[in-house]
Amino acid sequence: MIKFAVLVVSMSLVAGTAAAQSRVYAGGTVAIDSGSRGAYDTLGTSFPAAGGFIGFRFHDAWSMEVHGDRAFAESPERETVISIFERYAVRDRAGNGLAVLAVWKTRRQSRVGAAVTMGIEMRGFRTERVSDKKIDPNDGYPVDAGAGPAGGVLVPIVLGGGWSLAPEVRVSVGAFGEHGGYLTFYSGVRAMWGF
């Protein structure tokens, strides 16, 4: 959680200096992450995520972005085990996501444009042990991260003053190692400055 807070604060500080650098842009995202995640389908088929990103423009049409976000999902308890000393169960939690994307955007001829994204994205998941209905933060399984290629489209709409709003859809496929593959859809809205 602290690493995620540091990431968001760092992105905010960089966004403040972006005013002097036309080749840097930044913003925030809210989205619904949905689809099949194999062993982590216990979290449901969709959950909310929020975060931020920073982009670096290399050409009028091409840029690279780094996204960081946090998903908000928790599964119900399962696999109850009774032992002499305690009763416990486990639950899954969705965690932080990271994406590195190349972005190609069309030449804007009106207030509405279009862009295509492609790259790699991942999301971490954790299975935690619940002891006596309380989560023990020191007792759990290692974080499991699913990663794979991603691609999508976004439609930037110029609001004025350097700001734009962009509906976005990304599709990602990948694997959790021994837990199998997944196919997810990341549907949301970006608020961007300097794009």
Closest Cα partner for 195 from 69, 68, 57?
57
| 3-class SS of residue 56 | strand
Choose which CATH entry (2.60.120.10, 3.40.50.300, 2.40.33.10, 2.40.160.20) describes domain 2-193: 2.40.160.20
In this prediction, residue 79 has a pLDDT band, given cuts at 50, 70 and 90, of low
Mean pLDDT, rounded, for 96-106: 94
Domain boundaries along the sequence of the chain: 2-193
Query: What confidence score (pLDDT) does residue 21 get?
Result: 47
pLDDT tens digits, 131-184: 655 555 555 566 677 888 999 999 999 998 889 999 999 999 987 766 677 888
Query: What confidence score (pLDDT) does residue 90 get?
Result: 75
Mean pLDDT, rounded, for 104-116: 88
The reported pTM is 0.75
Rg, Å, the chain Cα set: 19
Closest Cα partner for 50 from 32, 67, 30?
30
Rounded distance between C-alpha atoms, residue 71 and residue 47, angstroms: 7
Rounded distance between C-alpha atoms, residue 31 and residue 4, angstroms: 17
| 3-class SS of residue 179 | helix
- Of all residues in the chain, the percent with pLDDT exceeding 70 is 74
Task: Look over the chain and give the mean of its residue pLDDT values, rounded to a whole number.
Answer: 80
